[in-house]
Structures are given as structure tokens and as C-alpha cells.
Amino acid sequence: MAREPVFARPSEEIILAPYAMTAGRSRGRRHPEPEHPYRTPFQRDRDRVTHSRAFRRLEYKTQVFVNHEGDHYRTRLTHSIEVSQIARTIAHSLGLNTDLAESLALSHDLGHTPFGHLGEEVLDVLMRGKGGFNHNRQSLRIVEVLEERYPDFPGLNLTYEVREGIVKHSGTFDPEVEPALAEYHAEESPPLEAQLIDLADEIAYSHHDIDDGLESRLLEVDGLVDEVPLFGRAYRQAQRDHPGLDRHQLINVALRRTIDRLVSDLISTVKREVAERGVETVEDVRRSPSQLVHLSDEVGEESRKLKGHLDQRLYHHPRIERMRDKYRRILFALFERYADNPLLMPASFRRRHPAEPSERLVADYIAGMTDRFALDEHRRLFDPYEKV
């Protein structure tokens, strides 16, 4: 039986936009639970994510630079927090459910591997013909199966809407290729709270990857100003508004203005789309044949130029490529050894998932590693002078 709230709260149906997802419209949890007396279902989801082991491990997982390269570079954890801040701002401005948006933002990278997207690419190659590997699907697997915090069910037992958002925030899926995801209705668009996560993610990493790239000296201010209109315009305006500021402060001002332009444009574009398409309910959102959340054509093109500059000048910089090559070989070696001899993995991990195919068990184990643990484990397995 549900417990009575310990204090009265305004109904979400009253304070949110009519097309926002509310707890009352939720399709619920896989395993029924009594409601909490003063936390909404989406607030509980957020808290379950932040208390999970997978979330804590993000502190030592690569964004662009491996953790030991410097104290100030972003990690997957700080990235997820920045995405949640942007997502909450967008959701609040649109009258959407900020708790759902925050839950999705904090959970969207739970399935990321060590060493950033490189780890995902390596595991997908190694799991070819065995189900493949995708960090969004791994995030779902973590919250559905791999986390163990509750005696009554596996995973975190999150609401349908959070699980759906994990599956769909970066696009839809083919139910014929992935029949296990059929319950998430590929023919339906997800709620707006889920649709905004992918762009909140892009805005966050475009902003902080510039910051980290400049900090590392792999990016140059002059190149950004000349080749990236979104940043160049903001930087020149900062110079006009604040003559005499040093380089570091000018960069900070320009970055704030860059992120503000992207967020402001996204909010105004979604408002226009909602009005023009006559969206009035969550059902209208779900029936929409295309995404309602996107940037305007002008700012979208500016954002693409920014991402192109980062791809060319930062993500494929020789220093980053050398790092990626080193860690690629480490991941291949770890997978080969565990697949050849699963007894090298902890007995406690193997006992928890005895029915899993051997290769999936290995992929789960490696995907859960932090950068630091993967490096230490490689040393333990391959250095003959290292004690095991």
C-alpha cells in the first residue's frame, strides 16, 4: 500500500507544461514498489543512479584525456554532471520534468568503457557476431541487470521512461535486429525530456572539450577564432567588452557565451516546433514523426563546424592518436586473456552471472573497468615481475 506524503506538494500536472512527462503518466517500474512518501518516482531514479557503483566509476573513466594526465581535465563523471546541469536548465525553461531530465542525463554514460569511445569501438569489434557492444545498450544492461543493490530485484528497477530514454535518447532502434528492446516501442518518439539529452550532451562536450583542448595546448585560440564562427564571435565580443583581460579570462568569457548561444537557441527552437506542430500532450510528442528537439538551421550549422574542428584538431591529434593506439592494444590483450581463461576474472563476478555467455561476461567485466584499473590489470597479467 502506498504511503501518504508527509507534506503537500503542488501537482506536477499543475506546475509543468501539458506536454511534459509527469509521474502520474509514467508506465511504472518492471517490479512494483510502494511509492516514497516525499520523493517522486523520477527523483528516486536520479538518486538510484547517483548511488550506483557504475556512476562512481565514471570518476576514473576518460572523456578525452586519461585521468592521470592532469587534475583539471574532464572525466565521464564531471561530464555527466555538466550534462545534467544543461538538461535541467533546458527542461525548466520548457516547462518539462527536470527530475526526469536529470535522471536521464546522469545515467546516459553509465555504460561507457575505459578509455572513452575507443573502448566501445574495441569491444564492438571483439563482440562482432556475439551481440556487439554499444554504450547506450550497456547503460540499460547496467540498470536492468548488472547493478546489485536491492534484494528483491536485479538492477535498479528504474521507471519505464528512464529506461526508454537510455535506449532512445541518441536515436531509435530496429526491433527486428534488437527484439529484446521491443517493449520500448520503436514506433514511438520518446518524451521531450529524453529527446533533449543528446543535444545537452553535445553542448556539454563541445564546451568542455574546447576548454580541455586549450588547457592541454593541443588546440590554439587563434585557430578556434578563425575557423569556428560560434567561438570566434564570442571571443571577439569578449575582447571588445573586456579590454585588458588575459587569455585565460577571455577564453572563459567566450566559452560561457558559446554555451549560452547553443542552449538559448535550442530552447527557442523547441518552443517554436511545439507551437507549429500543435503539440499539447505527451501523446502528441510520442506520435510526432520526427524529433521536436533540435537547433535552428543557422546555429546547427555553427555547431557542426565546431564539432568538425574538434574532430580534426583535437580528437585526431597525434598525441591523442598515440594514446589511443596504446590503450587499444591493452584492451585487445585483456579481452583475449579473459576469453581464453575466464578464471582470471574474479570468482565473485563469475558467480553473479553464471548463465551469461563467456564473451558477454568478459565484455561486461572490461566495460566496467576504470582507466586506472585496466592499466593495473594489464600490468598484473603481463608483467612477469608484478605480484598477482
What cell numbers appear for 369 in the block? 573497468
What mean pLDDT value characterizes the chain? 93
Q: In the predicted model, what is the mean pLDDT of residues 378-385?
A: 91
Report d(CA 244, CA 313) in Å as an integer. Answer: 28
Q: In the predicted model, what is the mean pLDDT of residues 272-292?
A: 96
Q: Label residue 70 by pLDDT band (50, 70, 90).
A: low
pLDDT computed for residue 14 by the predictor: 84
Q: In the predicted model, what is the mean pLDDT of residues 198-225?
A: 95
pLDDT computed for residue 68 by the predictor: 64
Residue whose C-alpha is closest to residue 22's, from 38, 43, 37: 43
Q: Does residue 7 have a pLDDT over 80?
A: no
Q: Name the most confidently modeled range: 13-22, 59-68, 229-238.
A: 229-238
Q: Contact, 30 vs 153, CB < 8 A? A: yes
Chain-centroid distance of CA 187 in Å reads: 23
Query: Which ranges in 142-191 belong to alpha helices (H)?
Result: 160-168
Q: Which residues touch 14 (CB under 8 Å, ≥6 apart)?
A: none
The per-residue DSSP string of 345-385 comes to: S-HHHHHH-TTS-HHHHHHHHHHT--HHHHHHHHHHHH-TT
Report d(CA 381, CA 368) in Å as an integer. Answer: 18
Percent of the chain with pLDDT over 90: 87
Residue with cell 507551437: 275
Report d(CA 115, CA 369) in Å as an integer. Answer: 10
pLDDT computed for residue 181 by the predictor: 95
End-to-end CA distance of the chain: give it in Å, rounded: 51
pLDDT computed for residue 65 by the predictor: 77
Report d(CA 61, CA 366) in Å as an integer. Answer: 12
pTM: 0.93
Q: Contact, 108 vs 190, CB < 8 A? A: no
Domain boundaries, the chain: 12-382
331-377 residue pLDDT tens:
999 999 999 999 999 998 888 888 889 999 999 999 999 999 999 99
Q: In the predicted model, what is the mean pLDDT of residues 273-281?
A: 97
Q: Which DSSP category does 312 fall into?
A: I
3 state SS of 62? strand
pLDDT computed for residue 3 by the predictor: 53
Q: In the predicted model, what is the mean pLDDT of residues 21-48?
A: 95
Q: Label residue 1 by pLDDT band (50, 70, 90).
A: very low
Q: Label residue 12 by pLDDT band (50, 70, 90).
A: confident
Which CATH architecture fits 12-382? Answer: Orthogonal Bundle (1.10)
- Which of the residue ranges 30-34, 43-47, 169-173, 292-296 would you say has the lowest mean pLDDT? 169-173
Which carries the bigger pLDDT value, residue 354 or residue 9?
354
Q: In the predicted model, what is the mean pLDDT of residues 303-325?
A: 94
Report d(CA 229, CA 306) in Å as an integer. Answer: 8
State the amino acid at position 151 in one-letter form.
P
pLDDT computed for residue 6 by the predictor: 47
